[in-house]
C-alpha cells in the first residue's frame, strides 16, 4: 500500500510541476568560425584566465537540427553573424560552476539567443569547453573553442544544444503514473473483497 501511494504521489507531482518545465525549441549543433586576430591569448591552457575577442565579425557556418541555414535567417546562405563579448573572464577551468557569464549572442528566427557559460574545462589539446545555457532555450549547451594551427588568434568551435523535456511530456508521464496507481488500487480492493 505504501508503494502505491508513492507512485500516486510521484505521478501527481510530475503532472503538477510540468508548468515549471520548459519546452525546448532548439536542438542540434552550430559551427562558429572566427576571423584573424579573434582571440587573445592564441594558445589556450588550464591557466588561461580570460579571452579577449577582436572587433572583426564572427560567423556561424551551417548547422544541424533546429540550426539549419534556413532557420537561422542568414545574412548570407548558411552564415549568421555572432557577437562575442569583448572579454570573457574564466574564473577556473576545472569544471566548477560559477555565476553565468555571456560568451556570445546570435540571431535565431528574428530573436536574439544568448549563450551563458556556467563552467569551463580544458581539453588535452588546449581547447576550452564552455558549458552553460542558451537564452530562452533552457536545455544544456556546450561550446568547444579551438585555436587554429597557425596560432594567430583565429578559432573554430561547435555549439551543441541538448533539449530539455517539454511540459506536455511530463504531464503525460505524470498522469500515466496516477492512472497506473489508480488501477493497482482498484485491483487490490477487488482482490480483498
- pLDDT of the chain, 193 residues: tens digit per residue: 555 455 444 444 444 444 444 455 788 999 988 876 668 777 788 888 888 887 667 888 888 988 887 777 666 766 778 888 888 998 877 888 888 899 999 888 778 889 999 999 988 878 899 999 988 777 789 999 988 766 566 888 999 998 765 554 545 444 554 555 555 556 655 666 5
Question: What is the Cβ-side half-sphere exposure of residue 63, based on CA atoms within 13 angstroms?
Answer: 27
Instruction: Assess whether 173 and 147 both reside in one domain.
Output: no
Residue 79's H or E segment, with its range, is strand 79-84
Instruction: Assess whether 32 and 65 both reside in one domain.
Output: yes
Per-residue pLDDT at 115: 94
Instruction: Assess whether 104 and 192 both reside in one domain.
Output: no
Per-residue pLDDT at 101: 93
Per-residue pLDDT at 173: 47
Closest CA to 51 of 66, 34, 64, 63: 34
181 in helix, strand or coil? helix
Per-residue pLDDT at 116: 93
Instruction: Assess whether 70 and 15 both reside in one domain.
Output: no
Per-residue pLDDT at 77: 65
**What's the domain range around 182?**
1-21+165-193
- Between CA 20 and CA 63 the distance in angstroms is 29
Instruction: Assess whether 119 and 169 both reside in one domain.
Output: no
Domains in the chain: how many in total?
Answer: 2
The cell numbers describing 59, all together, are 560567423
Instruction: Assess whether 16 and 29 both reside in one domain.
Output: no
Instruction: Assess whether 115 and 43 both reside in one domain.
Output: yes
Per-residue pLDDT at 73: 66
Instruction: Assess whether 76 and 5 both reside in one domain.
Output: no
Amino acid at each position: 500500500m505504501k508503494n502505491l501511494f508513492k507512485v500516486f504521489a510521484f505521478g501527481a507531482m510530475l503532472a503538477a510541476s510540468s508548468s515549471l518545465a520548459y519546452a525546448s525549441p532548439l536542438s542540434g549543433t552550430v559551427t562558429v568560425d572566427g576571423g584573424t586576430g579573434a582571440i587573445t591569448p592564441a594558445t589556450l591552457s588550464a591557466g588561461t584566465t580570460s579571452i579577449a575577442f577582436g572587433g572583426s565579425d564572427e560567423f556561424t557556418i551551417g548547422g544541424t537540427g533546429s540550426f539549419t541555414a534556413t532557420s537561422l535567417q542568414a545574412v548570407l546562405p548558411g552564415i549568421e553573424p555572432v557577437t562575442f563579448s569583448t572579454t570573457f573572464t574564466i574564473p577556473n577551468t576545472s569544471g566548477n560552476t560559477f555565476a553565468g557569464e555571456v560568451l556570445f549572442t546570435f540571431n535565431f528566427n528574428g530573436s536574439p539567443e544568448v549563450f551563458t557559460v556556467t563552467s569551463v574545462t580544458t581539453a588535452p589539446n588546449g581547447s576550452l569547453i564552455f558549458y552553460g545555457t542558451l537564452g530562452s532555450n533552457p536545455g544544456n549547451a556546450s561550446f568547444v573553442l579551438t585555436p587554429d594551427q597557425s596560432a594567430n588568434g583565429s578559432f573554430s568551435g561547435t555549439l551543441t544544444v541538448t533539449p530539455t523535456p517539454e511540459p506536455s511530456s511530463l504531464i503525460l508521464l505524470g498522469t500515466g503514473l496516477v492512472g497506473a496507481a489508480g488501477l493497482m488500487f482498484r485491483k487490490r480492493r477487488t482482490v480483498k473483497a
